[in-house]
Amino acid sequence: MASQTWQKSSYSAANDNCVEVRAVGGLVELRESDDGELILRTTPDAFADLLHAIKASDLDRFA
């Protein structure tokens, strides 16, 4: 990831309630599109682990 532009999932379509992501300075940043002031930062490895857990439905029990 080498982008400093916020990106959202193509699944979001025109919906503004989504999580946006970008890469900055070797970190991955996440924010909600409707509250851009709160930004979470993590490592690319931790972000990849989160994506794998989501895709594997490992987090569904917390819903």
Q: Would you kindly state where each structural domain of the chain is located, as residue ranges?
A: 17-62
pTM: 0.76
What pLDDT does 2 receive?
56
Sorted by sequence, the CB contacts under 8 Å of residue 59 that are 6+ apart come out as: 53
Using one digit for the tens of pLDDT, what is the confidence trace for 26-54? 999 999 888 888 999 999 999 999 999 98
- The number of CA neighbours under 13 Å toward the Cβ of 42 is 12
